[in-house]
Amino acid sequence: MARKTTTDDPLAPVTLAVGQEELLLDRAVQQVVAAARAADPDTDVRDLMPDALQPGTLAELTSPSLFAERKVVVVRNAQDLSADTIKDVKGYLGTPAEEITLVLLHAGGAKGKGLLDAARKAGAREVACPKMTKPADRLAFVRSEFRATGRSATPEACQALVDAIGSDLRELASAVSQLVADVEGTIDEAVVARYYTGRAEASSFTVADRAVEGRAAEALEALRWAVSTGVPPVLITSALAQGVRSIGKLASAPRGARPGDLARELGMPPWKIDRVRQQMRGWSADGVAIALRAVAEADAGVKGGGDDPEYALEKAVVTIARAARAGRR
């Protein structure tokens, strides 16, 4: 009988890693392998793609060994296994072998859902590895990376790192590791700027920040740099929309409310409330409406509605910056 484990034990008989974020999937595998090799340095690791796992292969890999060696069997893209192999895996889930840990990596969609359900029903240890598509998710990831190292970073530093690096979790994790290794004490926004200034200046959010602050020349410079370094135009229009909407939300919020209360009501972190308050000086309700129309036109332009996406972005940036300055006259 397989050893009984808690759901948090990486040496549970079966680990189910669910999602499409490659870094998190790899980490789930690494955690199991590290735990197995800590228990037995001679642990045998088999890392397999679906085409390498034919009917009968799992039985061979999990058959008792004369030397009772520990083994980790990793099956990637388990949702793509053949119907016959899925039957083998389901059968194994009911009676997992001693000293063997099976790790199933599953995308989590409808394909192969029967295997996913069977593993869960069998009590598999589950690790969530969702694709992080939202900026807020990536920000939370960066914060957790710093916490895992026992180091502190300011909220502004975490946001600056996400703005500078972008959506690649591997690069974000690598950047955190570099900063932690190189910098003593609390990591702040100035440190991030020093290390990643070129990338930060090219980020879509820098373009948006300069535009909503009415700094047209700086916004255009950041825009041209961003485009030249390969930042997708759709990310820039998204950042512009987010910047203008944040100003509109805060402008319509009750006056005198505390940042913490506003953060909960508007769905923004408290530090961002302070930043948007500074950016919204000079904005009017008409200005917000004009800016939102400019963003919508730019969005259509970069998605095939125009001949020159860069011109569409430049026009939107200039319009937004003018709207930001209009109330200051």
CA separation for the pair 288, 299 (Å, rounded): 16
pLDDT of residue 29: 94
Report which secondary-structure segment, H or E, holds 118: helix 113-121
Cα–Cα nearest to 93, from 31, 13, 29: 13
pLDDT of residue 27: 94
Q: Yes or no: is domain 204-325 CATH 3.30.470.20?
A: no
Q: What tokens were used for 142?
A: 């960066």
Q: What tokens were used for 220?
A: 């255009």
CA atoms within 13 A on the CB side of 39: 18
Burial class (CB in 10 A: 0-12, 13-18, 19+), 9: middle
CA separation for the pair 222, 233 (Å, rounded): 13
E strands, the chain, are 14-19, 44-48, 71-75, 100-106, 125-129
Q: Yes or no: is domain 14-129 CATH 3.40.50.720?
A: no
Report which secondary-structure segment, H or E, holds 262: helix 259-266
User: What global pTM score does this model have?
Assistant: 0.60
Domain boundaries, given as residue ranges, for the chain: 14-129, 135-196, 204-325
DSSP H stretches of helix in 3-112: 22-39, 57-61, 83-94
pLDDT of residue 202: 56
Query: Which CATH code is given to the segment(s) 135-196?
Result: 1.10.8
**204-325 has the same fold as 14-129:** no
pLDDT of residue 65: 65
Per-residue pLDDT of the chain (329 residues), as tens digits, is 233 344 689 999 999 999 999 899 999 999 999 999 999 998 999 999 998 888 899 998 888 765 667 899 999 999 999 999 999 999 999 899 888 999 999 999 899 999 999 999 999 999 999 988 888 899 999 999 999 999 999 999 998 888 777 778 888 998 899 899 989 999 998 888 888 766 655 578 889 989 999 999 989 988 888 887 777 888 889 889 988 988 888 887 767 666 666 767 777 666 677 778 888 887 888 999 999 999 999 999 888 766 788 999 999 999 999 998 875 55
